[in-house]
Amino acid sequence: MYSRAILTARAQVPAVARARLLHTTPVVAKTATEKASEVVDKVNKGVGRGLASGIDKAQQATKATKETLGMKTEEMGEEAKDKAANAAAEAAKQKQKAQAEVNKRM
């Protein structure tokens, strides 16, 4: 008797109500501003690394040249300035490239 009552009670409830499906929508992970700030941050770090490596290379070249040629300190200072200027010019090129990339992505 009770088993028939339970079966009839289940039969009356629609299948959709029994399933209780969850429906979720994806949330936008990042806004355009956040994405742009991440791109700019990556570019900034890349340029910084490029500048640091350029300065290191200039210092290594200056030291090697000093040792091999035995030049005076004054002359080496001028050469170091030239190498630093070259490294700065290279860094400026990298910065322009990076900014063009950022502008292209936006």
Question: Can you give the pLDDT at residue 41?
Answer: 92
Segment 18-71, tens digit of pLDDT: 555 565 666 667 788 888 898 899 999 988 888 888 888 888 888 888 777 765
Could you tell me the residue ranges of all domains in the chain?
29-105
pLDDT digit string (tens) for 84-104?
888 888 888 888 888 888 787
What's the pLDDT score for residue 27?
61
Task: Give the pLDDT confidence score for residue 74 in this predicted structure.
Answer: 66
Q: Convert the pLDDT of each residue in 5-32 to its tens digit.
A: 555 555 555 555 555 556 566 666 778 8
Position 100 scores a pLDDT of 84
Tell me the pTM: 0.37
Could you tell me which of 26, 44, 61, 51 has the C-alpha nearest to residue 98? 44
